């Protein structure tokens, strides 16, 4: 094997290692701090939860009332954010009009309500990720 191929192989192996290491890891509930579990129980009272950890933040994924949720909680048990799926039919008419005007007839692939301690936003995914406040004001495009 020549040097270029060997170098390329080493680089690819390194990239696979780094990408696997940096991804979120699914956790068992026994490995979740008690304050994290307690705040989830108080706010949502759900039984079947998938846990992941992203840095210092624990993420709980579950279904409740036929809705998918993702809840972010700090290691200390402080609730940070809730992301709740909504049906496309629940997107306010004003926001649908704004999307159609700005992006044409692109299909909406996902819509979520994102709730934090100080705000509630509507995050809509089309060809881009766009975020509106409750009044229909465009907040961000990604």
Q: Are 90 and 70 in contact (CB under 8 A)?
A: no
Longest Cα pair distance anywhere in the chain, in angstroms? 62
The pLDDT, as a whole number, for residue 21 is 46
Tell me the domains of the chain and their CATH numbers: 24-84 (3.10.450.40), 86-142 (3.10.450)
As averages over each run of 10 residues, the pLDDT of the chain (142 residues) reads 51 46 67 94 94 94 95 96 94 90 81 94 83 85 75
pLDDT at position 25: 67
**DSSP, residue by residue, the chain:** --HHHHHHHHHHHHHHHHHHHHS-EEE-GGGS-HHHHHHHHHHH--S--EEEEETTEEEEEEEETTEEEEEEEETTS-EEEEEEE--GGGS-HHHHHHHHHHHTTPPP-EEEEEE-SS-EEEEEESSSEEEEETTS-EEEE-
């Amino acid at each position: 094997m020549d040097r270029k191929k060997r170098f390329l192989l080493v680089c690819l192996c390194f990239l696979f290692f780094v990408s696997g290491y940096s991804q979120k890891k699914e956790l068992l509930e026994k490995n979740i701090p008690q304050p994290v579990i307690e705040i989830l129980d108080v706010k949502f009272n759900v039984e079947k939860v998938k846990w992941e950890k992203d840095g210092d933040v624990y993420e709980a994924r579950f279904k409740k009332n036929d809705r998918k949720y993702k809840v972010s909680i700090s290691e200390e048990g402080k609730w940070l954010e809730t992301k709740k799926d909504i049906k496309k039919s629940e997107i306010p008419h004003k926001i649908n009009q704004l999307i159609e005007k700005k992006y044409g007839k692109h299909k909406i692939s996902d819509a979520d309500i994102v709730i934090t301690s100080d705000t509630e936003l509507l995050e809509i995914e089309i060809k881009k990720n766009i975020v509106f406040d409750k009044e229909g004001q465009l907040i961000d495009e990604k």
